[in-house]
Amino acid sequence: MAREEEMIKEHECAMNERIPENIRGLMVSALKWANLHPDWHKVSDELPPKNPKYPTESIEVFVTSGTTIDTAQYDFQRAMWIGTIIQNITHWMLPNLPKED
C-alpha cells in the first residue's frame, strides 16, 4: 500500500468515517503532489506574508495537517485561520500561479 493510502486510512480511523472514493482519489493526488513540491512552511516557524499595500487583509494559501490539503485564509487582524475544515494546521504554502510565456 502506498504511503498516501496509509495516510488516508489513518485519517479515516481518526475521524471514524469512510472517505468516498471520489474524494479519496483527489486526496491521493493532492498528497502525491505535495510530496513532489516541498514548498511547505511550518506554521510554528512562520506565518504567510502580509501584503505590504494591505497589511490587515487576509491571504489565501494551501494548508495541511499532514494528512489532508485544503485552502484557508489567514486573518491577520484576528490572528487565526478561517475557511478550512482542517483542525490542526501544521504547514502552509503559497499557491504557485502559472507564469506568463
* Segment 10-44, tens digit of pLDDT: 777 777 788 888 877 777 777 776 666 568 888 99
> pLDDT tens, 58-89?
888 999 988 888 899 999 889 999 988 888 89
**Which residue from 51, 100, 90, 54 is spatially nearest to 70, judged by alpha carbons?**
90
Confidence band, pLDDT 50/70/90 cuts, at residue 97: low
| CA distances to 3, 31, 58, 67, 80 from 35, in Å | 10, 6, 26, 11, 26
* Domain residue ranges in the chain: 1-36, 39-101
**Calpha distance 37→13 (Å, rounded):** 27
pTM of the complete model beyond 0.75: no
Note the pLDDT of residue 1: 60
Note the pLDDT of residue 92: 92
Q: Where are the beta strands (DSSP E) in 12-96?
A: 41-42, 59-64, 69-75, 80-82, 91-93
